[in-house]
Amino acid sequence: MKRLLIFLGMLSVLVGHGEETQWRSDAFAIWPVKTDFPLQTSVVSWSDWLVFMNAHSREPGVRAIINEMTGSGIRQLWWRTFGGGHCLYSSQVDGVTTGNYAGQGADFSKFNSLKEAVNFGHKLGLTVYAWYTPMEEAHGWADNVRSRYTDMHPEMSDIDQAGKVLNVPSLFYETYRKYKLDLAIEMLECGPDGIVIDFERLGAPPRRNNWGYIPALLEEYEKVHGKGGKPQPNDPDFMRFRANFVGMLMRDIAAEAKKRGKRFMIMFPHTALLTAHTDIETWNKEGFVDDFYMTCGWPFDSVTQELLERYRQKLGRRILPIQYGFFGTVPELIAQGQKLASWGVEDITWFETTYLHGRDKYAIPTTLACTPQCEMVSPTELDFSGGGELSVYSSAEWVLRYGDAVLGQGKPGQVVKLKVPAQAAKGRLSIAAKLPPNALAAGVGLQGVAISQSGERTNVATDGTWTSGEGAVKTTGLMGIPPFLAPLDEKGDL
């Protein structure tokens, strides 16, 4: 699938240069992306950034993360809405446990991180999805970021094959399904482009095939299938029957997403299409899922081209792999991305941004998606008959021309202010740029005015379409100081 996108973004290496130039709302950044490389997606666990990455809370923290993603070549993000049983935005749903990480100074009940991520991500041209883990009431182990819902509703606890009460609610119960649906509706109301349901995370204790032995459920199963007693956990009919209660929730969330013109996606472990909680084949046949993502770890040996093709044939649609963890070297991971592209994969999901940032591996998506060098030409001719003023900031070495005349040049990470002498004829601006090896971001920021002989001033930043050898490059003006060119203030304002 051919794509050409704009990279609006610089990483933190740009911070500290904002005072040298007052970047206006009409500044913009441009960079062409390889037309033959898949879309790159990444997942943001803001709670992990706060705990492991010493990130800021509220607007500055959200915007700093999204800013880095934008500059690195990632064009789509999934924003985490739950960490185990703790909600990571200011939910108003009755019974929810909202995260409060006192040691990191983050009280999620005071700030809607999802809405901020959506608004700011959209401003920088990203597609933003809510990433929802409805199967979790605790994360990793039973007392880790555990919700209060389990204790509030012991009457809905699941039961395993041995008769043990598991102290985790079952989606067999309509009340529990409605609670999970209300949360999904609330997420959709925050304005994301869609919602991703994660079936990799099955809670703590994890939901297994030997769950779902609730007496009322077994009675219903006997009525439908004529089988009494306790079926085996891996009985396909019994797995589908139990998974259908999860499917009820999935259908309802998908309907709410469709009602709002949003996409609905499901991610599932590569090990099985059918479990007691997922029935991928049936859900696929019903047609309410827009995309299926398949999780796998490093190395990618567990997910081969043959497995992807087998699932494609079985489901009659594309399956998108998720790269979980970054335990190889940068060259290995770049090679992995190139291999996936050679398989015809249309979307590579890097899971997740803390691994990219913490290991300085933002060079991976940048190297994969960006052309190492390019020349970009402005959409319209400009009148510099009275001279002009320009400011340039780039992650690459660059040369700026007006027609055949060289106006200036610079190195990565330098603000260059240019006084443009009077030009005899109208012409177009062009920027030739070359990224350094392992660049962590791609983009050329430009602002300024062209002054005519009569003194008329024209902003060089437009909403028009620049062109390059890679095709069209859309330019974007942002409100206030573009954060990829200057630091945010202490309140997180642009």
291 pLDDT more than 90: yes
Asked if residue 194 and residue 129 are part of one domain, the reply reads yes
Q: Single out the residue of 113, 121, 106 nearest to residue 90, CA to CA.
A: 113
Asked if residue 141 and residue 107 are part of one domain, the reply reads yes
pLDDT in tens, 6-40: 332 322 222 233 345 566 656 666 777 777 789 89
Asked if residue 290 and residue 340 are part of one domain, the reply reads yes
Asked if residue 284 and residue 135 are part of one domain, the reply reads yes
3-state secondary structure of 36: coil
Q: Single out the residue of 129, 73, 75 nearest to residue 333, CA to CA.
A: 73
Asked if residue 353 and residue 426 are part of one domain, the reply reads no
Q: Which of 70-74, 209-213, 266-270, 438-442 has the highest mean pLDDT?
A: 209-213
Q: Place 78 in a pLDDT band, splitting at 50, 70 and 90.
A: very high
Provide mean pLDDT across the span 156-184: 97
Scored b (16 or more CB within 10 A) or e, 191-207 reads bbbbbbbbbbbbbbbeb
Q: Single out the residue of 421, 492, 468 nearest to residue 4, CA to CA.
A: 468
Q: What is the CATH number of the domain that holds 437?
A: 2.60.120
Across 325-396, where does the E strand assignment appear? Answer: 347-351, 373-377, 388-394
Number of folded domains that form the chain = 2
Residues contacting 87, CB < 8 A, separation 6+ = 81, 93, 96, 97, 98, 99, 108, 183
Q: How far apart are CA 179 and CA 174, in angstroms?
A: 9
Asked if residue 379 and residue 331 are part of one domain, the reply reads no
Taking phi over 0 as left and psi of -120 to 50 as alpha, with beta for the rest, 118 belongs to alpha
Q: Which of 334, 369, 404 is the last residue of a domain?
A: 369
Which token pair is 332?
């290995």
Provide mean pLDDT across the span 206-232: 95
Q: Place 472 in a pLDDT band, splitting at 50, 70 and 90.
A: low
Per-residue model confidence (pLDDT) at position 462: 61
313 pLDDT more than 80: yes
Q: What is the CATH number of the domain that holds 114?
A: 3.20.20.80
pLDDT in tens, 348-372: 898 888 888 766 788 889 899 888 8
Per-residue model confidence (pLDDT) at position 103: 61
Signed CA dihedral, 149, 108, 76, 269: sign only: negative
Q: Place 471 in a pLDDT band, splitting at 50, 70 and 90.
A: low
Asked if residue 243 and residue 135 are part of one domain, the reply reads yes
Per-residue model confidence (pLDDT) at position 479: 35
3-state secondary structure of 119: helix
Q: How far apart are CA 321 and CA 40, in angstroms?
A: 11
pLDDT in tens, 87-111: 999 999 999 999 887 666 678 888 9
Angle between helical axes of 113-123 and 58-72 (0-180°, round to 10) = 40
Per-residue model confidence (pLDDT) at position 21: 57
Q: Single out the residue of 477, 484, 309, 462 nearest to residue 381, CA to CA.
A: 462
Which of 99-113, 134-148, 463-477 is the least confident region? 463-477
The backbone torsions φ and ψ at residue 11, rounded to the nearest 5 degrees and listed phi first, read -90, -170
pTM here is: 0.87
Asked if residue 237 and residue 96 are part of one domain, the reply reads yes
Q: Which of 310, 345, 369 is the last residue of a domain?
A: 369
Mean pLDDT of the chain: 85
Q: Which amino acid is at 493?
A: D
Tell me the residue range of the domain where 150 lies.
37-369
Provide mean pLDDT across the span 441-446: 82
Q: Which of 317, 334, 369 is the last residue of a domain?
A: 369
62 pLDDT more than 70: yes
Asked if residue 394 and residue 340 are part of one domain, the reply reads no
3-state secondary structure of 466: strand
Per-residue model confidence (pLDDT) at position 23: 62
Cis peptide before 299 (omega within 30 of 0): yes
Is residue 371 within 8 A of residue 34, CB to CB? The reply is yes
Provide mean pLDDT across the span 434-454: 88
